[in-house]
Structure 1
Amino acid sequence: MGFLDINNVTKSYGAVEVLHKVDISVEEGEFLVLVGPSGCGKSTLLNMIAGLEGISSGEIKIKDRVMNGVHPSRRNIAMVFQSYALYPNMTVGQNITFGLEMHGTPKPERDKAMADVAKLLQIENLLTRKPGQLSGGQRQRVAMGRALVRNPDVFLFDEPLSNLDAKLRVDMRTEIKKLHQKLGTTIVYVTHDQIEAMTLSTRIAVMYNGYVQQLGTPKEIYDNPANLFVATFMGSPAMNVLTVRLEDRNGALHALTTGADGQERALRIDNASAAYAAYKGREVILGIRPEAITDPEGADRNARNIQALTNTVGVTEPAGADTFVTMTLAGKDCIARMRADADVRSGQPFDFAVNMDKAVLFDPKTEDRIA
């Protein structure tokens, strides 16, 4: 039993079920991120936790108290919206303490809470300004301050950084993470940005079509995706996915594909599981992250199975600390991630190093990972 329990929860609009039997247990102090593309159900689930949407079946519990039918004002949650939702006619200080005032908190307590939160968020110099005089990042801090001042059981964030520019998003991401580490609060955070999900969370729930596709730590989600959707949604650049054929060569299982020249390339799979062996002679989908394909000097020294693969370089893209290299495998583009000073040139043959320890296989029909 967790601090926040979502038990077998569904949501329907008429005959259409948009959330399907969601089960998530969040421990106290956890930072859970709900991530997925638009329309996957993540904001609907957040609104159900907040009490802004009703539950069709199942139950939501906070601190072992069933929240079904409980008014949002009585749930002791605080929500930070994408739009900031600040009152334009009030000062920053008034915006922060408005909720406390509505709950009848005495003014000395309100003032102390406001001062503490303003110091924490470094907005003491903004307390007398109106929202119209603030930048986007400052408004977001005020919206966070309004949530923090109430000391709720659970913080809910609904895509709070999506209105900010790229640099400010990175800065605010860091501030939110620092805040969580300092306060140890329980947070449920919605985003469609998988980088935000990876960097902020203690656990991630990847959602698609109203289902939780996978629930796990960022490392579990990234290294061992449950299915092809999770594999390709999480990670930037996305995981390379190639249709290969599994064959036995000299007593070892190999993934057979073709290079830019159309000729066969074989990648050995060491210590193949019984599940892998069951697909011998069949086509499967091989997934491998760009950073697992590099130059021999940049290959992971701790890897046990680095396979050499000679192929023609397609496009090179210098990106500061990295160089992204595109080549053709199995008739489609495959991206490798190399060091900035890797000596690789378009149109030339190159000896790629493929870390097959990091390869995962998927069933082409179910798209589930082969364990």
Structure 2
Amino acid sequence: MGFLDIRNVTKSYGQLEVLHRVDISVEEGEFLVLVGPSGCGKSTLLGMIAGLEGISSGEIAIKDRVINGVHPSKRNIAMVFQSYALYPNMTVGQNITFGLEMHGVPKPERDKALLDVAKLLQIDHLTDRKPGQLSGGQRQRVAMGRALVRDPDVFLFDEPLSNLDAKLRVDMRTEIKKLHAKLKRTIVYVTHDQIEAMTLSTRIAVMNKGYIQQLGTPKEIYDTPANVFVATFMGSPAMNVVPARVVVRDGAPHAEVVLGDGSKSLLAFSQPSLAAWDGREILLGIRPEAITDPEGADRKSQNIVSLKNRVIVTEPAGSDTFVTMGLGGKDVIARMRADVDISGGDDFEFAVNMEKAVAFDPKTEERIKP
């Protein structure tokens, strides 16, 4: 039993089921991120936890108390919205303490709570201003302050950073992470941004078409994706997924891939169980950082395979250089050092870390497990 339990929950609108048997147990103090493309059901699920959406079947419980049908105001949750939802005619201080006032909390307690939260969020110098006088980042801090001041069991964040510019999003990500480390409260956070999901969470639920595709730590999601969808959705650039064929040589399985010029090359797997797929087609998954130049290869890896192929294009990106080559009829991206000496049209000897490679069944698109 977790602190927040979502048990076999579904959501339907008439005959259309949009969330399908969702099971997630969230421990106290955990930071769970629901991530997925638009329309995958993540905000609907958050709304069901908050009580803003009804539950068609299943149960949601907080601290072993089933909250199906319980009014949102009685759930002891606090929600931070994408749109901030601040009252424009109230000061920052009044916005933060409005909920406490509505619940009959005495003014001295409200004032102390405001002071504590405003200092924590570094907005104590803004409490007399109106929302219209604040920047986007300051408004988001006020919205967070309004949630924090209530001392809830669970914080719910619905894409809180999507209205901010790129630099401010990075800054606010850091602030939210520091806040969670300090408060150790339970957070459920919705985003479509996989970088936010990877950097903020203790666990991630990757969603698509109303289903949980995978639930795990950021490392589990990134290194061992459950299927092709998770592999290509999580990561920037995404995991390279190319068609290949398993060929066994001297008892060891290899991935036979087609190079840009139509010739073939063998890449030795580090997963012996793939020998059972001898002669069969697979989808080979390799992260861009697992393909580099020989000098930049991971010195700890026991399985660096050389692959000579022609470079299509290079893209300098400051700290990295992204290099594109053709493999299996697909464009494959390698992530290399900024100072690597490489140009489009070169025949280059790539170093592929096959310890990081994963294989997928092309029919089901599920990862082939050891």
Other-structure match for 2:212: 212
Give the Å deviation of 1:270. 3.3
Work out whether 1:245 is the aligned partner of 2:239: no
**Structure 1 regions of 5+ residues with no counterpart?**
none
CA distance in 1, matches of 2:340, 2:272: 32
Structure 1 residue corresponding to 2:351, chosen from 336, 350, 353: 353
Other-structure match for 2:339: 341
SS in 1 for 2:125: helix
Work out whether 1:164 is the aligned partner of 2:138: no
Other-structure match for 2:365: 367
CA distance in 2, matches of 1:277, 1:309: 21
SS in 2 for 1:238: coil
TM-score, normalised via structure 1 length: 0.99
Give the Å deviation of 1:331. 1.3
CA distance in 2, matches of 1:97, 1:78: 13
CA distance in 2, matches of 1:307, 1:126: 58
SS in 2 for 1:119: helix
Letter in 1 for 2:145: G
Other-structure match for 1:181: 181
SS in 2 for 1:125: coil
Other-structure match for 1:138: 138
Alignment of 1:163-312 (within 5 A): 163-273=163-273, 276-312=274-310
SS in 1 for 2:236: coil
Alignment of 1:30-41 (within 5 A): 30-41=30-41
Letter in 1 for 2:215: L
CA distance in 1, matches of 2:199, 2:266: 35
1:100/1:242 Cα in 2 relative to 1: closer, same or farther (>3 Å)? same
**Structure 2 regions of 5+ residues with no counterpart?**
none
Give the Å deviation of 1:250. 3.1
Which 10-residue stretch deviates more, 221-230 or 248-257? 248-257
Give the Å deviation of 1:253. 1.2
Question: Residue deviations 1:237-290, cap 9 Å, x none?
Answer: 0000000011112332111111111111111113511xx222210110000000
The percent of aligned pairs where both chains have the same amino acid is 80
SS in 2 for 1:8: strand
TM-score, normalised via structure 2 length: 0.99
CA distance in 2, matches of 1:226, 1:115: 46
CA distance in 1, matches of 2:145, 2:271: 53
CA distance in 2, matches of 1:314, 1:192: 31
SS in 2 for 1:112: helix
CA distance in 2, matches of 1:270, 1:36: 30
Work out whether 1:330 is the aligned partner of 2:365: no
Work out whether 1:112 is the aligned partner of 2:83: no
CA distance in 1, matches of 2:266, 2:329: 15
Letter in 2 for 1:335: I
Letter in 1 for 2:325: M
Other-structure match for 1:80: 80
Work out whether 1:155 is the aligned partner of 2:155: yes
SS in 2 for 1:46: helix
CA distance in 2, matches of 1:177, 1:269: 37
CA distance in 1, matches of 2:230, 2:197: 13
Work out whether 1:62 is the aligned partner of 2:62: yes
SS in 2 for 1:152: coil
CA distance in 1, matches of 2:124, 2:149: 14
| RMSD of aligned alpha carbons | 0.6
